[in-house]
Copies of this chain bind each other. A is one copy, B any other.
Amino acid sequence: MAFKCVSQKVAQAIDVELMSSSGGFSIDQLMELAGLSVAQAVQKSFDTKKNPNVLICVGPGNNGGDGLVAARHLYHFGFKPSLYYPKQPEKDLYQRLVVQCKNLNVPIYKELEQAGDNLVDKSDIILDALFGFSFQGEVRDPYKEIVGIFEKTSKPIVSVDIPSGWNVESGPTEHVKFQPQVLVSLTVPKQCVSHFKGKHHFVGGRFVPPSLAEKFKFDVPVYPGADQVVEMNL
């Protein structure tokens, strides 16, 4: 692999540093830029007119928050996003991101089955924003069902940061082996990326100071123009 990947522990340390008083970033800022880069990766990978319907599967933490931000930007890019958001935490940030989606009339569902239709069947693209680099262990309810669908569906999946349910370092597990078509690594690729066999791998998060990358021994990729994502060679 032509680029460096980091462990779960290093990914967590980078995140802490970015949001510390010496990094200066707020979670609102980082989530906005992360979600924007995810939306740009979708926009670069799919035709807005041919594949407008994006089902965003939103997890309970920050990976889900990135998905909520991506939903808003996808709407503005001309896609038709829907949210499957089974557990909606009371955290102010997530609630505000939901309000922003509601103001765009983005449908928000708590159940996968809606009036006899499965949300996945009605979508052209699935955005997997369930779990990110802090995930550990096994996928539990209510997320087990949707990850099970990821295993079987022929719809293209775009995973945010890591494919949800994979081990952050060792990749696919006994229970979760699905391969997204597109992977958007945020800030820096995690070690599990070496197991990714999809079509497009993007890196997003164009906010990393060179000094931070040096400290944690990874490379900041060269982004084109004013883009917030860069496609990596596989």
A211 lies within 8 A of B103 (CB): yes
Say yes or no: is A207 at the interface (Cβ < 8 Å to chain B): yes
Instruction: Say yes or no: is A43 at the interface (Cβ < 8 Å to chain B).
Output: yes
A97: which B residues are within 8 A, CB to CB? Answer: 24
Q: Which of B26, B29, B76, B226 contacts A207 (CB 8 A)?
A: B76
Within 8 A of B (CB), among A83-108: 93, 95-100, 103-104
CB of A80 within 8 Å of the partner chain: no
- Chain A interface residue number, banded: 35 or more
> By the criterion CB–CB under 8 Å, are B223 and A99 in contact?
no
Which listed residue (B39, B96, B206) contacts A26, Cβ 8 A? B96
Q: List 7 interface pairs A-B (beta carbons < 8 Å), by A numbering.
A: A24-B100, A26-B93, A28-B28, A28-B32, A40-B226, A76-B223, A77-B225
Chain A interface residues (CB < 8 Å from chain B)? 21-26, 28-29, 32-33, 36, 39-40, 43-44, 72-73, 76-77, 93, 95-100, 103-104, 206-207, 209-212, 223, 225-228
Given contacts A28-B29, A29-B29, A29-B32, could you give 7 more A-B pairs where the C-beta distance is less than 8 Å? A22-B99, A22-B103, A24-B98, A25-B100, A44-B226, A73-B206, A103-B212
